Structure 1
Amino acid sequence: MSTANEVLTRNNVKVFGKGTRPIVFAHGFGCDQEMWRYIVPSFEDDYRVVLFDYVGSGQSQQDYYDAVKYNDLQGYAQDVLDIMETLDLRNAIFVGHSVSSMIGLLASIREAKYFERIVMLGPSPRYLNDLPDYFGGFTRNEIDELLTMMQLNFMGWASYLAPIAMQNNERRELSEELEKTFCARDPQIARQFAEVTFLSDCRNDLKHAPIPSLILQCSDDSIAPIQVGNYLHAHLKDSTLRLMNAKGHYPQLSHPEETTTLIKQYLGNH
């Protein structure tokens, strides 16, 4: 069992803000806590804000990376629970981007006491198509090609995927930032996280969700298409679905005002 200090160092945990109600921001694949920098200032006055990096991302301690532990989203969910236990959080708002939505869901199923609500930003319970019943947006071939490209040409993969995922072509600086963030990752760790993410299937876990959730579905999102948001809303009890004007998969960077407003509206109504 890790000590409190080890957990906070391992995941580069930052805690600040003037409020007592905890709100935890969890970044998605290939990113780090810097992705929240346009959102966080709006929550500092009213919340106790918690930021962290998954092991292998950002300023986390890479020595703690364990290829067996992190070969499953449950390994990441365990780290979320470790952080919450270490900080003695209760009834926290968990804001998860992309795969972190499902990591937060898995963590809440295991230890509901730490969570009050989950805000899911561009979530997907399954990226692969399972036709005819489920459309996730990707074929197995497409995922395999992506993983092969990561292995053979990591920089090329980053420059290929960043503009597709960001999808705000008129703002090149956003894609460039995302590409830089991708490239800062350790290629081996990034590839394993990609495989775990894109081949994950959390559809059977949805019915066990113990707490209410907000699904923020971006318009024109190549990673989590609208069908995925609708599926989640239909299968997550106590869920609220909001379709955003924001395009792409990173509204916290491309449309921070809209993202902040929708989260605050939801929390203010509950």
Structure 2
Amino acid sequence: MFAMPILAVFQLIPFLWQMFVAMAVSTGVSLLLARKQKGAKPAGKEDFDLPTAEEGRPYPVLFGCRRIRSPNAVSPLIQLSVKAKKKRSGIGSKTTVAHYYSVGLHLGVCQANIDGIRQIWVADTCVWPVLNDPTSQASDGQTLATIAAGECFGGYKREGGISGPVHIQYGRSDQTLDSYLSAQLGADQPAYRGFTGVILALVYIGTLPQIKPWSFLGKRTDTLTDGSAMWYISKAAVGSEGDLNAIHILYEL
């Protein structure tokens, strides 16, 4: 009475063995391919194009409140940090699918002794003090801007966003060496007086090995270009946009 079931089991053995061999081969091929598969190669410093890098380029004089575009790179890329994003691609293996780039960079914006940097823009997006709010402005004299705009440009799943510390220097006669520049380049660096500078102190710039155009909303209505108080300061600023009175411009010229 057990003859038929036992016979059926023996008849299934070759089929089961074939299935086992096929699964073993498939698993082996997957592991081999995963081992051979190479992740994306990270970019190096030499792969980045700086916004502008022109030695001896004159800095513009700021009158009133203006967005200053095309800042000048004071030096080559100071620092580059790359973090890899990995994704499991097989049994026990991971493949690099993206890289997150952070850079250290020193930018010259305009002449020294302005009242303050009120906004920071990357491409056409206001990233500081408030993301995507061009009506919000920081107060005068800010020397540290902490950008927290990780969701802009599609966030971490696309081009990555912008985040990190930015140091602002106004180039005054008593300016000291920036702490980030000193740590990265050594204490024998100059203090970089004479122009308004912005230092990206290892700022995360996204998943693409490129530096988008940076621009800065600067204001100067309360200070003369030599650093002293503006003449007839109560009448210096005019209009809703914070323009500098034409009489005050002529006075400086």
Fold match (TM-score > 0.5): no
Structure with the higher strand share, 1 or 2: 2
Q: TM-score, normalised by structure 2?
A: 0.27
Larger Rg belongs to: 2
